[in-house]
A and B are shown apart, each in its own frame.
Chain A
Amino acid sequence: MDPRYDIPTRRAAGVGGGSANSSPALGSQSRRRKMPPRPADFKLQIIIIGSRGVGKTSIMERFTDDTFCEACKSTVGVDFKIKTVELRGKKIRLQIWDTAGQERFNSITSAYYRSAKGIVLVYDITKQETFDDLPKWMKMIDKYASEEAELLLVGNKLDCETDRIISRQQGERFSSRISGMRFCEASAKDNFNVDEIFLKLVDDILSKMPLEVPNKELSNSVLSLQPEPEVPPELPPPRMRCC
């Protein structure tokens, strides 16, 4: 993660309050051109954290499609992705960061957490130590992440059910102790629940967003001049599982 790519202050518009925490670099407000195509309604940063080997990268890669590339990836590696989803009639641009290779708890910079609207915390259901590490990751989240950030705990490697060591209930119990944290199990290998992970998270983030005017930057757009569609209160209470 690189603070160079922080989404500039616009996130502050959503939550109200100071925005001293974001990158001074881009000044994108002035940069956005008036143009006919429908721009994104929201731009959100999501980070994927967890101990080494739990499958963070696979989760990012498996978000929508499933083939793997040879040339680029194996040599250089993917840093982050921009993904667009549509949800509740909104077009949402996600900037998804995978923290693989920075698993030592303190090596991930605070900027990483600070700007994230959604945090996916991953452990491996076949590896006790990755579950035991969760409190340490939570400590980092508590220390650095915005209080508004949505949290999702993912027990990954469901495809290795026979080697399971951490029961589903253990995962549920852990997440239920943390307010607003959802839980699910997934398999990035066979793509089970992976799309849902992101959609759920985005849905949770959106449900916390103020419904009225989007931020200044987007107010030029055709779309945001239209009345906001009613958002159905369809979400289950926070402690419910997502899958």
Chain B
Amino acid sequence: MDNDQQSKESTDRSDLVSEDGKNSKSVVCQRCGSKVLCPGMAVLVEKELFLPSMRKKSGPSTTEGSVDGDTLTTHWFVQDMFDFDNVGFTKDVGKIKYLICADCEIGPIGWHCLDDLTSYYVAVERVNHA
């Protein structure tokens, strides 16, 4: 995640949340604009989650077994997968299913743990708001 975006996001975040703590704008894919969440569907939460990098390293860069990625702390949270407008779930990675864009399949944009079927997180830094 580049710094520009990070600082922009953190200063803008209040704009993204309505009085009731929900997302005031649509949550959309950064690449293709596919709508992930309608306004008012998700609440902003703080939680440290590791998401593998959105960009695939070109060439033989990462060492075996280590995954390139970011620990992200601010997420849109929903309790029901049917709260999403469009989203894809990866196959299980351990107990985790990563969330991806349902249309262009970029990701991971979010995180879901199989231990809790009522928790779905979408990283604010990995989506746009429209």
| Partner-B contacts on A (CB < 8 A) | 4-5, 7, 25-26, 28, 31-33, 35-38, 40, 43, 61, 63-65, 67-74, 76-84, 93, 95
Residues on the A chain within 8 Å of B104, using CB = 65, 67-69
Q: Other than the known A72-B100, A77-B90, A84-B85, what 19 A-B pairs have Cβ atoms closer than 8 Å?
A: A5-B117, A63-B102, A63-B103, A64-B102, A65-B34, A65-B103, A65-B104, A69-B101, A69-B107, A76-B90, A76-B98, A78-B89, A79-B92, A81-B88, A82-B86, A82-B87, A82-B88, A95-B81, A95-B82
Tell whether, in the assembled complex, residue B88 and residue A78 are in contact, meaning their CB atoms are under 8 Å apart.
Answer: yes
Nearest 8 interchain pairs by C-beta = A65-B103, A69-B105, A37-B40, A71-B56, A72-B107, A76-B90, A84-B85, A81-B88
B72 within 8 A of A: no
| Partner-A contacts on B (CB < 8 A) | 22, 31-32, 34-35, 38-41, 52-56, 79-82, 84-93, 97-98, 100-108, 114, 117-118
Closest beta carbon of chain A to B1's beta carbon, Å:
14
Tell whether, in the assembled complex, residue A78 and residue B56 are in contact, meaning their CB atoms are under 8 Å apart.
Answer: no
Residues on the B chain within 8 Å of A36, using CB = 40
Tell whether, in the assembled complex, residue B86 and residue A4 are in contact, meaning their CB atoms are under 8 Å apart.
Answer: no
Residues on the B chain within 8 Å of A37, using CB = 38-41
Q: Can you identify 24 A-B contacts, CB atoms within 8 angstroms? A: A25-B117, A31-B80, A37-B38, A37-B39, A38-B38, A40-B82, A65-B103, A67-B103, A67-B105, A68-B104, A69-B101, A69-B106, A71-B56, A71-B106, A72-B107, A74-B56, A78-B90, A79-B92, A81-B87, A82-B87, A82-B89, A83-B86, A83-B102, A84-B85
Residues on the B chain within 8 Å of A61, using CB = 105
Alpha-carbon gap, A202 to B46, bound state (A) = 37
Of the candidates B39, B40, B52, B89, the one whose C-beta lies within 8 Å of that of A79 is B89
Given contacts A71-B55, A72-B106, A78-B100, contact A84 B86 (CB under 8 A): yes
Tell whether, in the assembled complex, residue B55 and residue A80 are in contact, meaning their CB atoms are under 8 Å apart.
Answer: no
Residues on the B chain within 8 Å of A26, using CB = 117-118
Residues on the B chain within 8 Å of A69, using CB = 100-101, 104-107
Closest beta carbon of chain A to B127's beta carbon, Å:
15
Residues on the A chain within 8 Å of B84, using CB = 82, 84
Tell whether, in the assembled complex, residue A82 and residue B105 are in contact, meaning their CB atoms are under 8 Å apart.
Answer: no
Tell whether, in the assembled complex, residue A35 and residue B41 are in contact, meaning their CB atoms are under 8 Å apart.
Answer: yes
Alpha-carbon gap, A67 to B108, bound state (A) = 16
Residues on the B chain within 8 Å of A31, using CB = 79-80, 118
Alpha-carbon gap, A80 to B108, bound state (A) = 14
Closest beta carbon of chain A to B121's beta carbon, Å:
15
Closest beta carbon of chain A to B118's beta carbon, Å:
6
Q: Can you name the residue of chain A whose Cβ is closest to the Cβ of B36? A: A82
Given contacts A67-B32, A71-B54, contact A76 B102 (CB under 8 A): no
Tell whether, in the assembled complex, residue B81 and residue A82 are in contact, meaning their CB atoms are under 8 Å apart.
Answer: yes
Tell whether, in the assembled complex, residue B82 and residue A71 are in contact, meaning their CB atoms are under 8 Å apart.
Answer: no
Given contacts A32-B80, A40-B82, A65-B34, contact A72 B105 (CB under 8 A): yes
